[in-house]
Structure formats: C-alpha cells, structure tokens
Amino acid sequence: MKSFRFVSLASVLGVAAASLALFGSSVRADHQSAKPDCTEGRLLCTEVANPTEAFGSYYVGHDEPSVEFYSNVAGAGNHVQYQLTIPTEPTGAFSQSNGYDFALRPTFWFGMAMCDTQSYPEQSSKCTPDSDSNIVNPADGFAGAPGIAFEELQFYPPGWVKQFAGFDCDPTRWCVALTIDSLSENPINGTLLNPTCQSEILGGLEYVNFAFLTLDGNPLGPPNPLQFDVATSGNPTNPDTFFLNQGDQATVTLNDTAHGLQTTVTDNTTGQTGTMTASAANGFGQIKFQHGGHSCQMLPYDFHPAYSTSSPQTRVPWAAHSYNVAMSDEIGHFDFCTSIDPNSPEASCNGLEGVPGDQEAADGDDNFCFSAEQSTLYPATGCIDTNAPGFDGSSYQDVWPDAGSLTSPTTRPTPVRFSAPLTGSAYDTAFSQIAFEADLPRIEAADLGGACQRFLALPNAGSGCVNPPVTDEGVPATFYPYYTQLADCDFVEGGNFGTGNSFGGSSTAEFGPLYPLTYWTFRGHGATNQRYNDFNSGPLDNSC
C-alpha cells in the first residue's frame, strides 16, 4: 500500500473539549481543540469528487462498493425501510487467515442525500425538503443550486479497537451512528471555509455531524461539528448506546419528520430500538460558510432529505458517487502489521504488512497502527490507514463470506444481509430499479498514486481504471467483493454464494463500465468538466 497523507496520530486521537453551552441558538469559537477531520483515516467521510481542491495532499481514499435504489414514487427519496441481518463472526481461536468484519470493513451504511444550505455549491440560501426541485445538472448552470449534504447510517463491527481511536464499540456487539457530511466549498468562485474554522470542527472542510443511535433518542453529546466532543459525543461507553448482537435481525427505517431525518433501527431479535433524529433540538447544526477571516459559527439546523424521488439525477453534486438512496460497504481501511515504530508520530508499521503468505515490507500508508494489546477481543496488530492505491489489505483477500458461510460462520463470517428498501406510507412499495456502483476510478487516480486517467477531456480517458484494482506490485488484487440477490430477494455481499443472482458472477461484470459524471470546475465560474469516478452497472430492473 502507498499513501500521500501526512497527519499526526495526535490529531487522530485528539479529544475535543468544548466549553460552550450545549445546543445553543448559535455558537461561535475562537479557539478549540483539534478534532479528527476527513484527511485522516479515522473519520469515514463521504468520498469527494476531487480531494485536491478540498484537501491538497491530505487525503484518504474510501473504497465503497454500493447498491443504489431508484424509484419515481414520491417519498422514495426520504421515506424508506430495509430489513437487515447482522453478520456473525468466525468461531474458535483467532487467526489472521480467517475473515473478520473488523478487518474487512470499518463500517457499512445506508445513505440518503440531504439539504444543507451552508454546503456546496454555496449558491442559494434555500433547499426545499423532500423536493425534486433541488435536482440540478451542473451542465445547465449553477444559479439557485441548493446546498446538498449526504447522510450515512453507519454500522460498526465489534472486536478490535474502540471508537474514537478505532472503529469499534464493543468486543462482541455492533453499534450504529447517524453521520451527515457537508462540503464547505464554493466551486464557482473557488473559495473554501476559512482555515481557522476548518481546524476547529469535526471533519474540517468536509464537516461532519455525528451521533450514535441511543435507546432514548438523545445524543450522547453534541453531534454538531463545532461542539462535538470525542469524550462524550464519540464515546460509545454509555448505557444509553444502542447495540445489536451478532446474527440479530433488524428493521432499519429512514424517514423525514417535521424536525429532520429520523433514523430508527429496531432489533427484532431483542426487541430493543435505537433512534436518532437530525434535529436542531438534538444539537445538529450547519457551519456558516465564511471564506475570509477567522470566525467559526454553528447554526442549529434540522437536516431534511433533499429529494422526493431517487434516480441518477438525485445526486450529491460534490461526491464521487452518483447515489442518493443506497446501501454501501466501506472497505480498504485495514492491514495487518508485525511491529509498530514506537517513535513514529503516525504510529506507523515498521515491520511487515499483510496476511501470512502474502507479506511484504510496510510502506507509506501503514499508519495509525494499534497493537494486539489494545484490542477489545481479537489479538490483531494492524493499521487503519487507506489501502489505495496498492489494494492489498484484508479487504482484498479471499476471506469474504461465501456459500459455506451463508447461514453459519466458518473461517469466514456470515454476510451482511439486507433487503431492497420499501417506500410508501406503509412501507409496502418496492423500488423499481437498482444499480451497482464502485468508486474505484476515483481512488485509482494519479493524485492517489494510481494510473487511472479520469478526465474525459484529456487523452486516453479511462486508461488505467480497472476492476479489480491492482496491488503495489501492479497485479490484480486477489479479490474484490460483489453482491448477490438471493431467491427471497435479500442481498448479500462477498464471494460466490452458489445461489441467487450474482449479476455476472464477478465484481468486473457486476459493477459494469466506467460511468461519467459532470462537475463544476473549481474556480471555473460555472464551467464544467466530466470525470470517470465510478464503475456503474446502469439501471437494472428490481424483480422483487
């Protein structure tokens, strides 16, 4: 693996202590402790279309194989429900040769586009909730374009290093958080949120609202980017935190309310429910877009879904992906390490990376490493930096769920199992189409050290953009996961399950050809460009 990021471990593990009044009508700050931002491996942020504009050389690539859901039924973009089965981990003694969810993924999530009038492209003070009037094609202009954010309901696997240093919450149970990412950038004029404010908020330029789902619906601490406190808001060691056991069956609901998106996970096995509403009353908020000066102001805000329906047109215009309503995995954030450099400010690996039988000297992205002694359960020494552009971490090994672990774990876990969403007042209306999408071209590009030529206006557009991606040695990765739809219409992710529709039976076939998207050119005064950021199957009929 290789990397082009240079950030300190202190910034990853830094604890933000806000002394301001909780959930005030507005909040200003001159100086606050540094919080993790989206240039770091610790935060699982929405993949931006062009990180160089936003982050310079500080960037983490997020590998997100996704299923998108399309429907022209009113409410499909803001009122959905899924059925979900939580994976079960391998039994017996720990082995680096087995597949474990903490090593395959830091999270999987259910997403939806949201209104945020302080987010990209900073052209309008209005965003009508739940309305397709917010659809904008950058090629048609920018006047009146609403600010758009992206919501992810993130599920975190158990058994390794706890939040907010690692990604986990518990030795054996899963936890869930509502996150909303916004981008404080004006691409038309080429202006960004002032650096002082960026340094004071969770996520930085791509600011993040973050709240664990709780039993009573109250956040553990302030979710908004300015007041977020790692010690409270980001600490799942709280009796009110909602957990799911391995193998539990759950109902996942995302629906708009008068005061913002409500996310609810009902564990049908235990009977417990976790919930969180993205409301000003719960401490959610925008960051006021102020390019000049040094001020940083949080504006309490009810975050509502941006669209009525869900289609390729209801996208987030600053994101690498084209999705609105989607389920996505987040992979490529873990690799094993044989020893950690005690003198490294990034806690870098100075031994070997990789699984037994496929080890090599550690390289530039083996950072933010933790020893086996720091784990809550599995005695694994490893690193949580990105795997791009050398795709050789645990996510790219053939240890994913397959036919043998479809219903019971083997040396592999059981798969994430989820239904296509339903919409309608009684959640009884199916989405008419699906699409598979992977943002590999975005993270195979030259600005991450890869060879993918993403820009359609340049020669050899699309060259070097491949699926499966390549390792440090330039050969195809051992494995790349893909989705299968079973006879009961549920989706599972992994390898060959020996049943159902695997849409071609490989990641190459399923995720399809290169897919161009149009973006505003940074500092282009409305000019646009087209890029290959994704592979996309195109719309497919949803037979269920």
Residue-wise pLDDT for 239-249, tens only, equals 999 999 999 99
Coil/strand/helix, residue 114: strand
Q: Which helix (H) or strand (E) holds 433?
A: strand 433-438
What is the DSSP annotation of 525-542? Answer: TT-EEEEEEEEE---EE-
The residues spanned by each domain of the chain are 1-544
Residue-wise pLDDT for 257-274, tens only, equals 999 999 999 999 999 999
- Which amino acid type is present at position 118? Q
Q: What is the CB neighbour count within 10 angstroms for residue 426?
A: 8
Tell me what pLDDT residue 213 has: 99
Q: Percent of the chain, pLDDT > 70?
A: 92
Coil/strand/helix, residue 515: strand
Residue-wise pLDDT for 117-136, tens only, equals 999 999 999 999 999 999 99
Global confidence as pTM: 0.94
Q: Tell me how far apart the alpha carbons of residues 370 and 378 are, in angstroms, rounded to a whole number.
A: 12
Q: Which helix (H) or strand (E) holds 169?
A: none
Instruction: Summarize the confidence of residues 29-41 as an average pLDDT.
Output: 62
Q: Let me know: does 151 contact 278? Beta carbons within 8 Å.
A: yes
Q: Tell me how far apart the alpha carbons of residues 250 and 273 are, in angstroms, rounded to a whole number.
A: 9
Sign of CA dihedral 456, 462, 464, 470: positive
DSSP state of 517: E
- Quick one: tokens of 303? 């975050």
Backbone phi and psi for residue 509, each to the nearest 5 degrees, phi listed first:
-70, -45
Contacts of 533 (CB under 8 A, 6+ apart): 49, 320, 321, 439, 441, 442, 454, 515, 517
Backbone phi and psi for residue 507, each to the nearest 5 degrees, phi listed first:
-65, -35
User: Could you give the dihedral angle defined by the CA atoms of residues 44, 175, 15 and 53, in that order, rounded to the nearest 10 degrees?
Assistant: 10
In three-state form (DSSP H/G/I as H, E/B as E, the rest C), the secondary structure along 275-292 is EEECCCCCCCEEECCCCC
Residue-wise pLDDT for 438-473, tens only, equals 999 999 998 888 999 999 999 999 999 999 999 988
Q: Let me know: does 483 contact 496? Beta carbons within 8 Å.
A: no
Backbone phi and psi for residue 132, each to the nearest 5 degrees, phi listed first:
-75, 0
Residue in this structure with the two tokens 């409410």, named with its chain if needed:
75
Q: Tell me how far apart the alpha carbons of residues 512 and 496 are, in angstroms, rounded to a whole number.
A: 18
Tell me what pLDDT residue 544 has: 81
